[in-house]
A and B are shown apart, each in its own frame.
Chain A
Amino acid sequence: MRKNREIKAVFAVIAVFFAGFLAVPMISVLVKSFTGNGEAASFSHYAEVLTGRGFLQALGNSFVISICSALLATVLAFVLAYTIHYTNAGGRYKWLISKAAILPMLLPTITYGFAIIYSFGKQGLLTQLFGRQLFDIYGFNGLLLGYVVYTLPIAFTLINNAMGYIDKRFMIVSRLMGDSPLQTFRMTIVIPLLGTLATSFIQTFFLCFTDFGIPASVGGRYEVVASVLYEEMLGSIPNFGNGAVVALVMIIPSVVSITVLHILEKYNVRYNKISPIELKKGVKRDVVFAVLSGAILICALSMFLVMFVTPFIEEWPYRMNFTLEHVQAVFEDRQLYGVYVNSVIVALITALAGTLIAYGGALVTARSTVSGKLKKVIDSIALVTNTIPGMVIGLAYLFVFTGTPLQNTFPIIIICNIVHYFSTPYLMMKNSLSKMNASWETTAMLMGDNWMKTIVRVVTPNALSTLLEVFSYYFVNAMVTVSAVIFIAGARTMVITTKIQELQYFNEFNEIFVLSLLILFTNLIARAIFRRLAKMSESRQNTAKIYRFSEKKKAA
C-alpha cells in the first residue's frame, strides 16, 4: 500500500503538532494546579480557590449570565431566521437581515464593551439621542447586551441553515389534517428544529462562559470566571497554581456542553429534499416579523454606531467638531500602524497554515484507508480543541513556553490560533471531502498518478471553494481573537486586539474605535475577496465541465 505511507506521514505530522502544542501544554496546566510554583503536589490550590471569597459567586454569575444570554440570543436568532424562511417579507429585506445578523462577528469582543459604554453610558451617543440613560450599563445588563450581540451571529447561522433543510411540505400536510396554526408551528418547525435550537443554546452558552473581552470592560462588580482567571494570572500578586485551578474549572462546563452537543448531533433531523413551496399569504404575520427582525437588528447594531462617530469628533462630548485628527494619529503612530500590520500577517499565516493542517487532517479521516484508530485520534483532537477555551490555551502556552525561544513570538501566537480554532475548519473540510466520489484516488492510481499528484490534481481543485471558506474562517477569527493571545503576545508581537486591551487601560477610546474599524473593514474586504474567489473556482469547475463536454462533441 504505497498510498498509506504518505497519508501516514501526514497523520504523523498532525499528531506530533498537537501532541506538542495541545497535549503537553494542557498536561502542564493540570500539573501546575497541584504543584503551583514547584511546591510539593497537593490540593492546596484547589482548596484556596474553591473556598476563596468570591470565586463560587463568580462561577454562579458566569452560569446565570451565560444561560440568560444564550436563551435570549437563540430566541432572537429564531425570529430572524423565521422571518427569512417563513414570511413573504421581500427578497431584498431578507438578504439585508442575513447580512446584518452576522456583522458583529467581524469585530473583537473587546470592542463591544467600549461600544456599550460610549453608546449607553451617561454621556453616550444613544443616551444623548434619547435624552436619558436607558439602563445601567455596568454588570448584568451590559454583559447581557454584549453577550447577546456577540453570540447572535452564531445562533442565527445555525438556525438559519437548519431551517433551510426543513421540508416545508409538512406544513401543507399538517394544515390539511386540520391542525391549528399553533399546532402546525409546533409540529413542523419547532420539533424538527429542537436539536438545532439546543445546539445553538449550548454553543452560545459556551461562548459567553469563556469570553474575556466583554466582562473586561462592562463587568462592573459582576465578577465572572474569565475575569477571575485573568486576575490570578496577571493580577498584582500572580498565583499560577490558583490560575491553573480556575482554568480547569472553566473547562468543565465546556466538556459537558460539547458532550451534549455530540449526543444531540445524532438526533438532528435532516430532510434531504428541499422543496420550495408557496407560503400561505399572511400580511399580519409578514409585517409583525419584518418589524420584529428590523427592531432586533437595529438594537443590536446601534451600539456600534458610536464607533463611526466619536473618532471623528474633537473631544466627545464637549467639543463636537468634526476632525480627522484621531484617525490620522493612528496611521502616523508607527507602533499602532505596526500593530495593524502584525495582525494582518498573523491572520494570513494562521489562515494558510491552519487550512493546510485542517486539510491534512480531513484527508486522513475522509479520503484514506488507514485504520479507524488513527482516524479516531484526529476526530478526538478536533473535539478536544472545541472544548478548550482560548484563555486556557493561552495560559497553558504561558506555562510551557516562557523562557524558551518561542516566548512572545509570532509563531507561538499563530500556533495558538490554529489549535484554538481547529475544530470548525476541520469539520468543514471533512464534510466537503467525504461528499466527493470515493473512487477518484483508485482511478487516478490505476492511471499511474501517485497519491500526491492525485491530491494536487483532482482532490484539491474540487475542494477549492471549501478550502477558501476555511481560509476565510481562520483569517477572520485570528483577526478578532483576544482571549487566546492575551497571555502570549509580547511587545514585538502585539496584535490589534491585545493593543486594544492595553489602550483600554488608559480609556483611549478614539484609538480603540479606529483600530476596531480597521479590523471591521479588513474582515469585510477579506470575506468579500474569499467569497468572490470561491465563486470563481466553483463556476470555473462548472464551465470546465461544459467546455470539456462540447470539446468531446466536437471531436466526435
Chain B
Amino acid sequence: MKKMNFKRAASLTLAAAVAVTGMGLTGCDTGSSGEQVIIYSNADEEAITAMENALDNNGYEGQYMFQTFGTSELGGKLLAEGKDIEADMVTMSTFYVESAQAQNDMFQDLTFDVDTIDEFEPYCAPITSQEGTIIVNTEMMEENNLPMPESIADLADPVYKGFVSVTDIAASSTAWLLVQALVSEYGEDGAQDVLAGIYENVGDHLEDSGSAPLKKVRAGEVAIGFGLRQQAVADKADGLPIDYIDPAEGNFSLTESVAVVDKGDDTNPLAMEMAQCIIENGREELQSYYPNALYNGESTDAANKSANPKVFPEKLTVDLLQKHEAISEAAKEEAGL
C-alpha cells in the first residue's frame, strides 16, 4: 500500500511536469517561429492600425508583429543595439532613423520607388507627418474662467498654473515641435525663458508620451495641453469637449519613416515587401489621421490644414535634439523642477 501511494504521487508529479514542459515548449515554438516580421514602431495607435490594415488587406495577415515604444526608448534601442536589434523593420521619427544609420550603418536601401515631395534618404520612406498645436478642454476653461491662449508663449502666463500639460523633450519628440517653435521665434535664450515659465505652470504634468497631454486634457486633469494636432481634430469631431488653437509661433512638423534593418544573411525578405506594401497601400488611411501630403499626387484636405505651418531652418538631427534638450534642462532648473 505504501509503495503504491508514493509511486502514484511520484508519477503524478512527473506526468504533470512533462505535460507542463511540453506545453511550454510548444508555446515557445509557435512564439519564436522565425518567419514573422517584427516591426518596432514609435507610431500612435491610429498609424499602427492603418499600417496593419494595409498589410492585412494585401495578404500579410499573421506574418508580422508590431511592437510599439516611446520615441526615446526606441531611439535608444536603435543607437545602442544597431544590427543586433530584434526588429526586421522599424517605423520611427525620420531624424532618429538618419542618426542611427549614421552611427551604426544598420539599414538597407529601399528597393522600391519612393516619390516624395521633399527629398528623403534612400533607406527610408516617410509614413506620416505630424503637427503640434495647443489643445484645450472647453469645459475646464469655462469652469475655471481661463482666457484662451493664442500662442505657446501665452502658456507661460501664471494664470494657467496647474492647468497646463506638455511633454518632456527628453522623452518624446512631440515636445520638440514646441521647442522648435519657441527657438525659431524667440531664439535660444528667449525659448529658455518661455519654457521655464511653462514648466512652472506645468509642475507635475510634464509627460513622457506625446499623446499624454491630450489624454490629460480629455480626462480633465488639466485644461490646456500641447499635443498632436490631428488627435485633437479627431476628438473634437467625436463630440468631446476639446478644441485646438494653432499657435502664433507656427505649427511645426516631424515626419516618421519606415526603414528595413540590414541583418546580412538573416534578413527576412518579407520585411522589404511589407515596407513597400505600407507605403503603396497604407498612405490613404494614414493620411486620414495625419493629413499632411508627403508624396507627389497627394494633397492636404482643407479641414485639416493647420493655420500656420512652418519648418525649422536647420536640418533635424539627434545632435540638434540634444542641443534643444539642454535648453529644456536649463529651463527646468530655472523653474525649480
Contact = CB atoms under 8 A, between A and B. Distances in A.
B60 interface: no
B18 to A, nearest CB: 10
A502 interface: yes
Contact of A234 (B23, B76, B86): B76
A285 interface: no
A113 B73 CA distance: 20
A408 B88 CA distance: 14
A492 B10 contact: no
A253 interface: no
A181 to B, nearest CB: 46
B204 A221 contact: yes
B79 A237 contact: yes
B310 interface: no
B220 A505 contact: no
A345 interface: yes
B6 A507 contact: no
B248 to A, nearest CB: 29
Given A122-B219, A506-B209, A53 B333 contact: yes
A457 B76 contact: no
B170 A236 contact: yes
Interface in A328-385: 335, 341-342, 345, 348-349, 352
Contacts of B1: 544, 547-548, 551
Nearest to A403: B84
Interface size class of A (residues with CB under 8 A): 35 or more
Contacts of A5: none
A352 B108 CA distance: 43
Interface in B306-327: 318, 321-322, 325
Given A122-B220, A235-B72, A236-B321, A407 B86 contact: yes
Contacts of A236: 71-72, 75-76, 170-171, 318, 321, 325
Nearest to B170: A236
A234 B77 contact: yes
B69 A139 contact: no
A68 B81 CA distance: 39
Contacts of B321: 236
A238 interface: yes
A352 B20 contact: yes
State the main secondary structure of chain B at its contact with A: helix
Contacts of A316: 219
B72 A460 contact: no
A505 B209 contact: yes
Nearest to B34: A492
A507 B325 CA distance: 24
Interface residues of B, number: 64
Interface string A393-406: 00000000011000
Contacts of A60: none
Contacts of A493: 31-32
B9 A349 contact: no
B80 interface: yes
A506 B219 contact: no
Contacts of B28: 345, 409-411
Nearest to B337: A221
Contacts of A506: 44-45, 68, 209, 211
Contact of B27 (A221, A231, A345, A407): A345
Contacts of A294: none
Contacts of B240: 315, 318
A411 B77 CA distance: 21
B140 to A, nearest CB: 9
B185 to A, nearest CB: 24
A540 interface: yes
Tell me which of B21, B31, B44, B240 has the highest count of chain A C-beta atoms within 10 A of its own C-beta.
B31
A457 B3 contact: yes
Contacts of A457: 3, 6-7, 10
Contacts of B241: 318
A138 B204 contact: yes
A114 to B, nearest CB: 12
Given A237-B318, A352-B17, A548 B2 contact: yes
Contacts of A492: 31-32, 36, 38, 65, 86
A488 to B, nearest CB: 11
B5 interface: yes
Given A461-B6, A551-B1, A348 B23 contact: yes
Interface in B202-243: 203-206, 208-209, 211-212, 215, 219-221, 240-241
B70 A491 contact: no
Interface in B266-296: none
Contact of B76 (A237, A409, A505, A507): A237
A123 interface: yes
A90 interface: no
B277 to A, nearest CB: 19
Contact of A491 (B67, B81, B212): B67
Contacts of B2: 544, 548
A165 B323 CA distance: 62
B252 interface: no
B13 interface: yes
B40 interface: yes
B92 interface: no
Nearest to B214: A507
Contact of B221 (A123, A409, A456): A123
B9 A505 contact: no
A53 B212 CA distance: 26
Contact of B322 (A221, A237, A341, A348): A237
A317 B219 contact: yes
A22 to B, nearest CB: 22
A540 B36 CA distance: 49
B87 interface: yes
Nearest to B6: A457
B23 A458 contact: no
Contacts of B322: 237
A230 to B, nearest CB: 9
B24 interface: yes
A492 B72 CA distance: 21
Contacts of B325: 236
Interface in A483-542: 490-494, 502, 505-508, 537, 540
B318 A502 contact: no
B24 A123 contact: no
A461 B10 contact: yes
A193 to B, nearest CB: 38
Nearest to A315: B240
A464 interface: yes
A121 interface: yes
Contacts of B333: 53
Interface in A212-242: 220-221, 231, 233-238, 240
Contacts of A505: 68-70, 208-209
A24 B208 CA distance: 34
A237 B171 CA distance: 10
Interface in B30-50: 31-32, 36, 38, 40, 44-45
Contacts of A240: 80
Given A220-B204, A236-B321, A408-B86, A122 B221 contact: yes
Interface of B: 1-3, 5-7, 9-10, 13, 17, 20-21, 23-24, 27-28, 31-32, 36, 38, 40, 44-45, 65-73, 75-77, 79-81, 84, 86-87, 170-171, 203-206, 208-209, 211-212, 215, 219-221, 240-241, 318, 321-322, 325, 329, 333, 337
Given A122-B221, A237-B322, A493-B31, 13 more contacts: A234-B73, A235-B73, A236-B72, A236-B321, A236-B325, A238-B80, A318-B241, A352-B21, A403-B84, A411-B28, A464-B9, A508-B45, A551-B1
13 contacts: A122-B221, A235-B76, A238-B76, A238-B79, A342-B31, A349-B20, A409-B28, A411-B28, A457-B3, A458-B6, A506-B68, A540-B5, A548-B1
9 tightest Cβ-Cβ pairs between the two chains A and B? A138-B204, A491-B67, A236-B72, A220-B204, A238-B76, A507-B215, A349-B24, A345-B27, A403-B84
